[in-house]
Amino acid sequence: MSLTGALLYLNDVTVTFDGFRALNGLSLVIEPGEMRAIIGPNGAGKTTMMDVITGKTRADRGEVLFEGARDLTRLDEAEIAELGIGRKFQRPTVFDHHSVFDNLLLALKGPRSVWPTLLAPLRGAERQRIREIMEIVRLRGLAAEIAGNLSHGQKQWLEIGMLLAQDPKLMLVDEPVAGMTDAETAATAELLREINRTRSVIVVEHDMAFVRELDVKVSVLHEGSVLAEGSLEHVSADPRVIEVYLGR
């Protein structure tokens, strides 16, 4: 096992909420540059897994290592984000009162502590990078638009754009196509593949068509641990997966 080579390494992670085991000895390895799809029925622990990786929820037991060395269980959300892990929520979460431009500016890799942000001026390079990202996430011309006024799909993309601006090494994406039209879904799959060229991605998704379109390794979560892993064809053929998830 080349643990040191893994980008993200989860070993025997357990999280309990009032006696309910949301995660039960979950182990998972993500390689650098990999895109992984996580599927599983409701309550399988997908979102809790994301919460543990990003520091929102503390694990009762187990290790979570980033780049082989950094123990994520000891850090808070902001520190983990600074390490290079970005997260997109299930419901699009952007800053509703800020313009598209400001949303991206806040996400842009750069100073995060109090005094530098108090004094930081806007640099030309930043402006340039924000224009590029707006191009990528198809929000060109909307720089001054207030984020709260965007459509649902546009918000999803703005949030992905913010993640791009953050320039993380690993991106966690929770149900990116929920509520999107077919065309938007296809475009999103395209976008994620594009993003995956430069960084690792973990996608949690219910939409099987979308997962098929992504065409990446799939982990099936069930009752807080990994039930099966492999290509979508491989896991779809697994009788246990059929039993708990796909079959009925």
- Across 138-237, the runs of DSSP E, i.e. the strands, are 170-174, 200-204, 217-222, 225-230
Q: Is the CB of 17 or the CB of 208 nearer to another protein? A: 17
**One of 3, 27, 31, 96 touching another protein (CB under 8 A):** 96
Site for another protein contains 20 (CB under 8 A): yes
**One of 11, 24, 99, 196 touching another protein (CB under 8 A):** 99
Q: Is the CB of 27 or the CB of 93 nearer to another protein? A: 93
Q: Where are the alpha helices (DSSP H) in 2-84?
A: 46-54, 77-83
Number of residues that bind another protein (CB under 8 A): 45
**One of 11, 21, 63, 146 touching another protein (CB under 8 A):** 146
Q: How far apart are CA 170 and CA 40, in angstroms?
A: 21
Structure tokens at 143: 């720089």
Site for another protein contains 22 (CB under 8 A): yes
Structure tokens at 229: 């892993």
Site for another protein contains 95 (CB under 8 A): yes
Site for another protein contains 56 (CB under 8 A): yes
Site for another protein contains 179 (CB under 8 A): no
Whether 59 contacts 15, CB under 8 Å: yes
Amino acid at 74: R
Structure tokens at 207: 């939409």
Q: Is the CB of 54 or the CB of 188 nearer to another protein? A: 54
By CB atoms closer than 10 A (0-12, 13-18, 19+), residue 213 is middle
Q: Is the CB of 28 or the CB of 92 nearer to another protein? A: 92
Site for another protein contains 74 (CB under 8 A): no
Strand partners, 229: 219
Q: Is the CB of 166 or the CB of 225 nearer to another protein? A: 166
Interacting span for another protein (CB under 8 A) from 63-71, 88-96, 230-238, 240-248: 88-96
Site string for another protein, 106-135 (x = CB under 8 A): xx----xxx--xxxxxx-------------
Q: What are the residues binding another protein (CB under 8 A)?
A: 17-18, 20, 22, 47-48, 51, 54, 56-57, 76-79, 81-82, 86-87, 89, 93-99, 102, 105-107, 112-114, 117-122, 146-149, 162, 166
